[in-house]
Amino acid sequence: MTLLCFVVRLALLTFFAFSPVALATAPAQAATGDVYVHAGANFRPVSVAVTPFAGDDGAEKIGAVVANDFARSIFLLPVNPSSFPETVTNPDQRPNIDAWKRINAQFVLTGRVLRPDAEHVTAQFRLWDVATGEQVAGEQYTSEASNARRVAHMISDSVFSRATGEKGFFDSRVVFVDESGPKEKRRKRLAVMDMDGGNVKYLGGSDTLVVTPRFSPSAQQVAYMSFGSADPKVTLLNLETGQREAVGKFPGMTFAPRFSPDGQQIVMSLADGASTNLYSMDLRSRATTRLTDTSAIDTSPSYSPDGSQIVFESDRGGSQQIYVMSATGGPAKRISFGDGHYSTPVWSPRGDLVAFTRIKNGSFGIGVMKPDGSGERILVEGFHNEGPTFSPNGLFVLFFRDSGGSGGPKIYMTDIFGHGEFLAPTPNYASDPSWGPLMH
């Protein structure tokens, strides 16, 4: 992965022309744009006009990526360019605010793209608040030209944060299982992509089958279950070096790995006869700790953001349900009590929700609940939804859906309120997504 050479966040008054009035009005605008406070029946996305970026080489591409980010963001709505009341020729000049008010735009984004040399690209933007007529954000990013898509995502993140009051999520990646070939002989291999489906890279390896890849908090490692000649094992892949290694030497099948929030431990399942228990491993010392000791099947563990607790699924009560326990083991508390079977729990990075798969009367729902089990709501339902994973800001969920028949699974995105749903474009069929952290 090639990182940004440098990112310059200019705060000079001479460049951004922030005024005391603009700064004073910022909290009020954040309140009116806070879509999460008003996420009920009266929800309305924030409208943003993405005007064409000035410049020749790469300007149109960066502007298109930004507009596509907003179109898929659920909380931001790009204004249809056919309704633009003016052509912005100077991105440093304040737009005709009254004209933009007439088409109900809440923000106007202007920008330019420069090429300081053959190897680099520089993008500048300004965000104008139509309500106040003031510039409320402005930044400049310089990177290697090959990273132009990342620059666009970083612009999107900055605008999303300013318009909604929440962290962005566009400059992130997703690791998943790419599935190709006929259904009866499908090839499954690891792949990684930008969260919008761009920049797909295959992660190589000769595994005959891989499932449940999981990003580390640093986004430099992936843990997954690999089927080889021996027992299936949890395997670590270093994305920088390509090095792979089995996690521990357990006598049996290990699967369903998940990193701790600090990236120093992995929790996973070990199948031993008819029972499956949870184990954690310190990646520095390789010391292992047994966390559960039952005759049940305990699996799909996920750490809380502070690393103090683990949520997991277990059939210890007779059917698949969700439980929470200390990250060091001990008694577990059941938190799922609705009709049906509950599985694949994952803790939100915000700490406020647990996402899950619910199977009820043959229908597969993706839902969320609070860590104490209250406030359960189903976001999407149908055949066959599974495997939720949270965005870095905890406001969106990716999952995969297999509609049956001769086709295969595809990855979809929804928000935690169920306002919208989008297909995540992938080259082939795709399953088991894991959303990584923000790159910047």
Q: What is the mean pLDDT of residues 88-98?
A: 96
pLDDT for 185 beyond 90: no
pLDDT tier for residue 45 given thresholds of 50, 70 and 90:
very high
The mean per-residue pLDDT over the stretch 83-106 comes to 96
DSSP 8-state symbol, 359: E
8 A C-beta contact, residue 172 and residue 413:
no
C-alpha gyration radius of the chain: 23
Exposure letters 226-256 (e unless 16+ CB within 10 A, then b): bbeeeebbbbbbebeeeebeebbebeebbbb
In the chain, % helix, strand, coil (3-state, to 5) comes to: 15, 45, 40
Which single residue is written with the structure tokens 């793209």? 113
- Beta strands 107-117 and 46-50 are parallel
Query: What is the per-residue DSSP string for 295-310?
Result: SSBEEEEEE-TTSSEE
List Cα–Cα distances, 250 to 13, 106, 314, in angstroms: 60, 57, 21
Residue 17 has which token pair? 């022309």
pTM confidence score: 0.90
For the chain, the farthest-separated pair of C-alpha atoms sits apart, in whole angstroms, at 71
For residue 162, pLDDT beyond 60: yes
The full set of domains in the chain, from first to last, is 6-164 (3.40.50.10070), 172-438 (2.120.10.30)
Give the pLDDT confidence of 281-323 residue by residue, as tens digits. 999 999 999 999 999 999 999 999 999 999 999 999 999 999 9
Report for 20-29, 31-40, 228-237, 385-394: range of highest mean pLDDT: 385-394
pLDDT tens profile 258-281? 999 999 999 999 998 889 999 999
Tokens of 173: 């990646």
Q: Can you give the pLDDT at residue 11? A: 29
Beta bridge partners of 323: 312, 334
Q: State yes or no: pLDDT of 231 exceeds 80.
A: no
Give the residue among 73, 15, 13, 20 at the shortest CA–CA distance from 48: 73
Burial tier of 357 (Cβ tally within 10 Å: 0-12, 13-18, 19+): buried
The torsion defined by the Cα of 252, 256, 262 and 265, in degrees rounded to 10, comes to: -10
Residues 6 or more apart whose Cβ sits within 8 Å of residue 65: 149, 152, 153, 156, 196, 198
CA–CA distance, 177 with 221 (Å, rounded to integer): 15
Mean pLDDT rounded to a whole number for the chain: 88
Pairwise CA distance, residues 295 & 297, whole Å: 7
Is the model's pLDDT at 29 over the cut of 60? no
Which pLDDT does position 38 carry in this prediction? 41
- 147-161 tens-digit pLDDT: 999 999 999 999 999
State both tokens at 118.
């053959």
Q: Please give the pLDDT value at position 432.
A: 97
How much is the average pLDDT of 182-207?
A: 87
